[in-house]
Amino acid sequence: MKLGEKYPTIDFHVDLLDPTAEKAHCYVQVKATEQGFEGEGPARKLKVRVPKADVIKLRRFPAPTYVVGIDVTKELGEAYVMAIDRNVAGAINGLPAKHRLDCRALRKLWQEVDTYWKAKDMLMAQSAFGV
Mean pLDDT of the chain, nearest integer: 90
Please calculate the CA angle 99-81-55 and round it to the nearest 5 degrees. 135
**Cα(72)–Cα(15) distance, integer angstroms:** 25
Contact indicator for 73, 47 with CB cutoff of 8 Å? no
Contact indicator for 56, 31 with CB cutoff of 8 Å? no
Is the pLDDT score of 4 beyond 60? Answer: no
**Cα(116)–Cα(75) distance, integer angstroms:** 34
Contact indicator for 115, 63 with CB cutoff of 8 Å? no
pLDDT tens digits along 64-118:
999 999 999 877 778 999 999 999 999 999 999 999 999 999 999 999 999 999 9
Predicted TM-score of the model (pTM): 0.88
Q: Per DSSP, which regions of 1-131 are E strands?
A: 12-15, 25-33, 37-38, 45-50, 65-71, 78-83, 92-96
pLDDT at 129: 87
